[in-house]
């Protein structure tokens, strides 16, 4: 999977290039990441990428010129959808993450300041995705979140065969509780069924636990649809 990112802060992506499952996916060649900076597409000596909003008001808006030149450069080598991370987007979910994980190409557009000129959205953006109903300072963390979630689903990434499939949400409900050594911690024992070696019983117990934790903490997941 080829992911290209349009961002004024390419260094932020070092966090996911150097760590975690995204790093594993890159090392295995299951995914590539490349950042493109709209600042490199400016034509003035100040390298300006933002300007004051028409109609007034606080903050700055990303100018359409550098941004569209940057996007069009990326499009020369990436045929994927242009996804703009913004609070106006479709809410990111497991089903959206797995849909993206099935694509060969993807272009992620990260906004800063108050946002980007509407004409860029009209002419270049295929899709808007939101990580939730709150505002962050830039689209970079939302983009990294999406990449992190996608990279751990890529089939080439080790441990995937089972671990991603058995995940929370791949079956539409929350995860069951996990335990590791020691058998007794601060007086609390590991549920005996997990020590029984009876895999059928263990699966049953885990499913019951997953259902009851979902009923208690996220009943909406069971009632919807």
Residue 97: half-sphere exposure toward Cβ, Cα within 13 Å: 20
Annotated catalytic residue within 2, 23, 39, 87? 87
Q: Is 87 a catalytic residue?
A: yes
Annotated catalytic residue within 90, 167, 189, 208? 167
DSSP-derived letter for residue 138 is B
CB of 25 to ligand 4GS, least distance (A): 22
Give the Cα separation of 154 and 148 in Å (integer): 11
Q: Which is nearer to ligand 4GS, 146 or 157 (CB)?
A: 146
CB of 138 to ligand 4GS, least distance (A): 5
CB of 146 to ligand 4GS, least distance (A): 9
Taking CB under 6 A as the criterion, the residue among 82, 85, 120, 147 binding ligand 4GS is 85
Give the Cα separation of 116 and 109 in Å (integer): 10
- Integer angstrom CA distances of residue 59 from 66, 137, 140, 164: 18, 12, 18, 41
Which one, of 141, 142, 143, 162, lies nearest residue 153 by Cα?
162
Give the Cα separation of 138 and 113 in Å (integer): 7
Strand partners, 6: 36, 109
* 3-state class (DSSP) for residue 175: coil
Q: Which is nearer to ligand 4GS, 67 or 157 (CB)?
A: 67
Cis geometry, peptide bond prior to residue 83 (ω within 30 degrees of 0): no
Q: Binders of ligand 4GS: how many residues, by CB under 6 A? A: 17
CB of 97 to ligand 4GS, least distance (A): 14
- Taking CB under 6 A as the rule, does residue 112 contact ligand 4GS? yes
Which one, of 28, 27, 33, lies nearest residue 13 by Cα?
33
- Taking CB under 6 A as the rule, does residue 53 contact ligand 4GS? no
Considering only residues 127 through 186, tell me which ones interact with ligand 4GS, judged by CB under 6 A.
130-132, 134-139, 142
Of 5-13, 50-58, 110-118, 196-204, the segment contacting ligand 4GS by CB under 6 A is 110-118
- Taking CB under 6 A as the rule, does residue 80 contact ligand 4GS? no
- Taking CB under 6 A as the rule, does residue 195 contact ligand 4GS? no
Q: Which helix (H) or strand (E) holds 62?
A: strand 61-62
Tell me which residues touch ligand 4GS (CB under 6 A). 85-87, 111-112, 114-115, 130-132, 134-139, 142
Active site residue ranges: 87, 114, 152, 167
């Amino acid at each position: 999977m080829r992911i290209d990112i349009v961002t004024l802060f390419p260094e932020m992506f070092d966090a996911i290039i150097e760590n975690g499952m995204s790093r594993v996916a890159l090392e295995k060649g299951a995914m590539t990441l490349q950042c493109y900076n709209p600042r490199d597409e400016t034509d003035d000596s100040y390298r300006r990428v933002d300007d004051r909003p028409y109609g007034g008001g606080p903050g700055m808006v990303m100018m359409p010129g550098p941004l569209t030149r940057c996007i069009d450069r990326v499009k020369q080598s990436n045929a994927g959808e242009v996804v703009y991370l913004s609070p106006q987007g479709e809410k990111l979910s497991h089903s959206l993450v797995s849909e993206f994980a099935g694509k060969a190409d993807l272009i992620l557009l990260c906004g800063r300041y108050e946002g980007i000129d509407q004409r860029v959205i009209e002419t270049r953006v295929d899709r808007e995705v939101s990580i939730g109903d709150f505002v962050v300072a830039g689209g970079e963390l939302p983009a990294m979140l999406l990449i992190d979630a996608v990279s751990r689903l890529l089939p080439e990434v080790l441990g995937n065969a089972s671990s991603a499939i058995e995940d929370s949400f791949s079956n539409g409900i929350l995860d069951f509780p996990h335990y590791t050594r020691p058998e007794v911690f601060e007086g609390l024992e590991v549920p005996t069924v997990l020590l029984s070696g009876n895999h059928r019983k263990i699966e049953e117990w885990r499913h019951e636990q997953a259902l009851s934790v979902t009923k208690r903490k996220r009943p909406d997941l069971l009632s919807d649809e």
